[in-house]
A and B are shown apart, each in its own frame.
Chain A
Amino acid sequence: MSRFDVSLPWWAWVLMGLGLAAFVAMVAVSILRNRGMKRSLFASPYALWMILFTIVPLVIIVYYALTDSSGNFTWDNLRNFWDSNYIRRMSATSDAARARYAVRGMSNMDPLIYSLWMAFLCTVICLVLAYPTALFMADRKMKRASSLVILFVVPMWMNITLRTYAMRILLVDDGPLITFLRLVGFKDAQLMDTPAAVLIGMVYNFLPFMIFPIYTVLSKMDPALQEAASDLGANPGRSLIKVTMPLSIPGVVSGITMVFMPAVTTFTLNVMLGGSKRLMLGNLIEQTFTKQSNWNMGSAMSLVMMVLILISLTILRKADPNNEGGGL
């Protein structure tokens, strides 16, 4: 089976065709009859865009997840996902990985749990690093806040692969960091191809996504609130805990969402910094699609991950009911 053999059911093609036709028609109509058009119609190109590029792919993923290679309905893909033996077998399909697992033995941790755990650690570290930074940037007495913002924005403009290669140079065995660590006594220090390297890479890449929502909420906060807290007897620490922090929760929620989601699905960082020694869910999905060409299993994995993210988003939503953090 060719990798590009897209064997979609007829109704998926019809759905996409109809969507595209309606989209073109709507754009044409909105150009031709601009004045007589109802306001709600202006949203229709957007709605169609959503249908074309969100709903349709979703339908296709669900379709693949619930069918076998010959297109018959089955629960097997989802059932197999929870079978750890299956995942172990799957995860060792890359030759290099199989060889490594043969020597070291397979990790007991499922790629899913490993992914969630790494994403959790990354989110916590980002939060711990980002909150003080955002506080510092939002401080009205800081006149250089804008240049600090740029300092965090500019690296985000660079390609993630490039950034990660730069990270490798820092982390490799004869790189500056290891040389320094060995110099101060850690003779066995190693970072490259370890979970620590992956975590460093994740934190480095996703930190701005934690800083900005928090910074935005903090800088929009009425400074009179802190003054009021101080006026009522709260020293700076109490004021931070009792006023600033509770009011910045929307930003924190937004930041957690924006870091956790890409962190749990990342796979390039694991390949480039972790040497794929332990598979993350992203790697597993990628390999299932590319190495095994098993679209059905890959879709099932994606679906499980999507549901997990949806659940965590729903829980986070509860903490920010008014969506003040401007999150997703």
Chain B
Amino acid sequence: MVENEHLIDLIGIGKDYDGVTVLDNIDLYIRRKEFVTLLGPSGCGKTTTLRIIGGFEHPDRGQLLFEGRDIAALPPYKRRVNTVFQKYALFPHLNVHDNIAFGLKIKKMSRGEIDRRVDYMLDLVNLEGYGSRRVDALSGGQQQRIAIARSLVNEPEVLLLDEPLGALDLKLRKEMQLELKRMQQRLGITFLYVTHDQEEALTMSDTIVVMRDGRILQIGNPKHIYDEPANAFVADFIGESNILHGTMVEDEVVRFAGHTFPCVDFGFGEDAPVDVVVRPEDIVLVGEDVGQITGVIQSVLFKGVHYEMMIDTGEFTFKVHSTTMQPQGSRVGLSIVPFNIHIMKPMAEEGKADVEV
């Protein structure tokens, strides 16, 4: 049943804290050498999932398999995974070299071999010659690299990263994203990455797991998740979206914002209520007379590469991204290609996604 290429399998994992379910029936597998990201808002259970794999939490239900064997009872120090902690958790009483060498010394490796490996890791994270420094004398970005080096030097099967870039500033974060991806490809280690930053997830991952309220909403590669969000919450969380309530008139015809649009989706039934997601960059501004609907530009914001305009059509205020600016107050036509209208079943529960509609 379990395929060979699966390195880690989570089967029906559940976890409660004081009677509150924080993880509910998590099914997930991680392939060897894959870069998997658990993405979701805080409190969605992504860190708990990571900590269960790391061995710091025990699942109340379900199975945790590593290469097909149940490891739920193994303590962290017997697992072939290493963790990069959110606040790095470097040992303040040890210098950089001894921090990285910690795991190797426990394995009773020879002094020369330890030095060789530590130097290799320092080189890998671009911190050659920092071995004798105190860790608290390093910048956040440098501490981050030491934390990664300290984990990677043990050659884990899986590296678990718990929001490792959260404390860094934007520019450094972007650099580290690329560097982490480069390291992962170079070393061929499986990465399981936890973040609430959708852009980070889209940039680095092979597979994104979107979580919310202790459940998995969608698993897929970045493009799939972005283009075909499973529901309005995912659509809203990944990138920016216009989310509307609509009605599926019949197959390939949907009605929302007071107008009937052709689309490519089918199988919802006739006159079925649906959620409609349209990305801001997928709305094309055209002349007032040729648009499918018309609206008045309420506001214009310059965002660097594009302008962000809020356009009121009377029924709904659309967020539109366009490289050409239209003056505020002018009336424009809006047009959406059928392929860019994403139709999904309405979400069962009232959620964050609905609030913005």
The CA of A231 and the CA of B89, in the complex, are separated in Å by 11
Q: When the two chains form their complex, are residues B76 and A227 in contact, meaning their CB atoms are under 8 A apart?
A: yes
Contacts of A231 in B (CB 8 A): 54-55, 76-77, 81-83, 151
Judging by beta carbons under 8 Å apart, are A227 and B89 in contact? Answer: yes
CB contacts under 8 Å to B, within A215-245, are: 222, 224-225, 227-235, 238-239, 242-243
- How many A residues have CB within 8 A of the partner chain? 18
**A229 CA to B150 CA in the complex, in Å?**
11
B188 beta carbon closer than 8 Å to chain A: no
In the complex, are the beta carbons of B87 and A246 less than 8 A apart? no
Answer whether residue B317 sits at the interface, using C-beta atoms and an 8 A cutoff: no
- Chain B residues at the A interface, C-beta cutoff of 8 Å: 54-56, 75-77, 81-83, 85-87, 89-93, 102-103, 106-107, 150-151, 154
Give chain A residues whose Cβ lies under 8 Å from the Cβ of B151. Answer: 231-232
Check B87 against A235 for contact (C-beta < 8 Å).
no
- A232 close to B154 (CB less than 8 A): yes
| A247 interface residue (CB < 8 Å to B) | yes
14 contacts between A and B (CB under 8 A): A222-B87, A224-B85, A228-B89, A228-B90, A229-B91, A230-B56, A231-B82, A232-B106, A232-B154, A233-B77, A233-B107, A234-B77, A242-B102, A247-B91
Docked CA distance A273–B150 (Å): 55
Q: In the complex, what residues of A have CB within 8 A of residue B86's CB?
A: 224
Given contacts A224-B86, A242-B106, 15 further A-B contacts (CB under 8 A): A222-B87, A222-B89, A225-B89, A230-B75, A230-B77, A231-B77, A231-B81, A231-B82, A231-B83, A232-B102, A232-B106, A234-B77, A234-B106, A243-B91, A246-B93
- Residue picked from B54, B89, B93, B151, most chain A C-beta under 10 Å: B89
Considering the chains assembled together, what is the distance between the CA atoms of A231 and B51 in angstroms?
11
Bound Cα distance from A229 to B94, whole angstroms? 12
Contact A247 B92, CB 8 Å, known A227-B76, A227-B85, A231-B54:
yes
B102 touches A229 (CB 8 A): yes
Q: Nearest Cβ in chain A — how far from B179, in angstroms?
A: 21
- Please state if A230 and B106 are interface contacts (CB–CB under 8 Å): no
Chain B residues positioned under 8 Å from A232 (CB to CB): 77, 82, 102-103, 106, 150-151, 154
Chain A residues within an 8 Å CB radius of B87: 222, 224
Please state if B89 and A233 are interface contacts (CB–CB under 8 Å). no
Q: Please report which residues of chain A, range 238-271, place their CB below 8 angstroms from some CB of chain B when the two chains form the complex.
A: 238-239, 242-243, 246-247
Chain B nearest CB, measured from A252 CB (Å)? 13
The interface residues of chain B lying within 8 Å CB-to-CB of A247 are 91-93
Report whether B106 and A233 are in contact in the complex, using a CB–CB cutoff of 8 Å: yes
Closest 3 CB pairs of A and B: A232-B103, A224-B89, A228-B89
From DSSP, what is the main secondary structure of chain A's interface residues? helix
B-contacting residues, A300-318, CB 8 Å: none
Nearest-Cβ distance from residue A321 to partner chain B, whole angstroms: 12
| Closest residue on chain B to residue A221 by CB atoms | B92
Complex alpha-carbon distance, A232 and B151, angstroms = 7
Query: Roughly how many angstroms separate A246 CA and B91 CA in the complex, as a whole number?
Result: 10
Decide: B89 and A235 in contact? CB cutoff 8 A.
Answer: no
Q: Bound state CA distance, A246 and B94, in angstroms?
A: 10
Looking at the assembled complex, report how far the CB atom of B88 sits from the nearest CB atom of chain A, in whole angstroms: 8
Minimal beta-carbon separation of A48 from chain B (angstroms) = 38
Contacts of B54 in A (CB 8 A): 227, 231
Of all chain B residues, the one with the shortest Cβ separation from A230 is B76
A194 to B55, CA, bound (A): 53
A273 smallest CB distance to B (angstroms): 40
Q: In the complex, are the beta carbons of B91 and A225 less than 8 A apart?
A: yes
Rounded to whole angstroms, the CA-CA distance of A47 and B82 in the bound complex is 53
**Distance in angstroms between the alpha carbons of A231 and B56 in the assembled complex:** 9
A222 vs B86: C-alpha distance when bound (angstroms): 12
Q: How far is the CA of A230 from the CA of B151 in the complex (A)?
A: 12
In angstroms, Cα B90 to Cα A247, docked, is 12
Alpha-carbon distance A230/B51, docked complex (angstroms):
13
Q: Name, among A227, A232, A233, the residue most crowded by chain B CB atoms within 10 Å (CB to CB).
A: A232
A227-B56, A246-B93, A247-B93 as given contacts; A233 in contact with B103, CB under 8 Å: yes
What residue in chain A is nearest B54 (Cβ atoms)?
Answer: A231
Closest to B102 in A: A232
Across the two chains, which residue of chain B brings its CB closest to A224?
B89
Interface flags for A191-230 (1: CB within 8 Å of B; 0: not) read 0000000000000000000000000000000101101111
Taking CB atoms, residues of chain B closer than 8 Å to A228 are: 83, 85, 89-91
Q: Which residues of A contact B154 (CB under 8 A)?
A: 232-233
Tell me the bound Cα distance from A173 to B151 in angstroms: 61
Minimum CB distance partner of A225 in chain B: B89
| Bound Cα distance from A197 to B86, whole angstroms | 52
B108 to chain A, nearest CB (A): 10
- The smallest beta-carbon distance between A243 and chain B, in angstroms, is 6
A242 to B106, CA, bound (A): 10
Residues of A within 8 A of B91 (CB): 225, 228-229, 243, 247
A279: shortest Cβ distance to chain B, in Å?
Answer: 43
Inter-chain contacts of A229 with B (CB < 8 A): 91, 102
Give A230 to B81 CA distance when docked, in angstroms.
11
**Chain B hits for A234, CB < 8 A:** 77, 102, 106
Query: How near does chain A come to B203, taking the closest CB pair, in angstroms?
Result: 26
B50 to chain A, nearest CB (A): 12
- Expressed in whole angstroms, the Cα–Cα distance for A224 and B150 within the complex equals 14
Whether B85 contacts A238 by the Cβ 8 Å rule is: no
